[in-house]
A = this chain, B = another copy of it.
Amino acid sequence: MTIRKLFEPNSVAVVGASRDPKKLGHVIVKNLIEADFEGKIYPVNPETDEILDLKCYPSLDEAPKKTQLAVIVIPAKKVPSILKQCKENNVRNAIIISGGFSEFDEEGKELEEEVLEIAEEMGIRILGPNCQGINNTSNGLCATWPLVTKKGPLSIVTQSGTIAAALSHWAQEENIGIAKTAILGNKADIDEADIINYLAGDDETGVIALYLEGVEKGRKFLEAARKAAEEKPVVVLKGGKTELGAEAVKSHTQSYAGKYEIFESACRQEGIILVDSLTELYNVCKGIAKLPEPDGKNTIIVTSSGGSGILAVDAIEDLEINLIDLPEQSIERLEENLPQECILKNPLDLTGSATAETFDESIKILARYKDVQNMVIIVGDPISGIADILKERYERLPLIPVFIGMGKLGDKEKEKLRDSEIPVFSDPAIAMKVANSL
Contacts and interface: CB of A to CB of B under 8 A. Distances in A.
A406 interface: yes
Contact of A407 (B146, B163, B252, B304): B146
B343 A251 contact: yes
A128 interface: no
B308 A160 contact: yes
Which of A164, A323, A406 gathers the greatest number of chain B CB atoms within 10 Å? A406
Interface stretch (A199-207, A358-366, A386-394, A426-434): A426-434
A244 B316 CA distance: 9
Nearest to A408: B146
Contacts of A249: 310
Interface stretch (A10-18, A263-271, A347-355): A347-355
A215 interface: no
Interface string A289-324: 000000000000000111111110111110000010
A248 B310 contact: yes
A333 to B, nearest CB: 19
Interface string A232-251: 00000101111011011101
Interface of A: 99-100, 104, 132, 145-147, 158-166, 169, 211, 213, 237, 239-242, 244-245, 247-249, 251-253, 276-279, 304-311, 313-317, 323, 341, 343, 345, 347, 349, 351-353, 380-382, 404-407, 410, 426-430
Nearest to A430: B279
Given A132-B352, A162-B404, A245-B314, A307 B213 contact: yes
Contacts of A381: 145-146, 161-162, 165
B99 A404 contact: no
A44 B310 CA distance: 36
Given A248-B313, A313-B244, A430-B279, A405 B104 contact: no
20 contacts: A99-B341, A99-B351, A132-B352, A146-B381, A146-B405, A146-B407, A147-B407, A162-B381, A162-B404, A162-B405, A165-B407, A166-B380, A241-B314, A244-B314, A248-B313, A252-B307, A252-B349, A277-B315, A277-B429, A278-B428
A352 B343 CA distance: 53
Given A162-B405, A165-B404, A165-B405, 14 more contacts: A160-B306, A162-B352, A162-B380, A163-B311, A165-B407, A169-B406, A241-B314, A242-B313, A242-B314, A244-B314, A251-B345, A252-B309, A276-B429, A279-B427
Contacts of A279: 279, 426-427, 429-430
Contacts of A244: 313-314, 316-317, 323
Which 9 residue pairs are nearest across A and B when measured between Cβ atoms? A160-B307, A162-B380, A165-B405, A162-B305, A252-B306, A245-B314, A239-B310, A146-B407, A162-B405
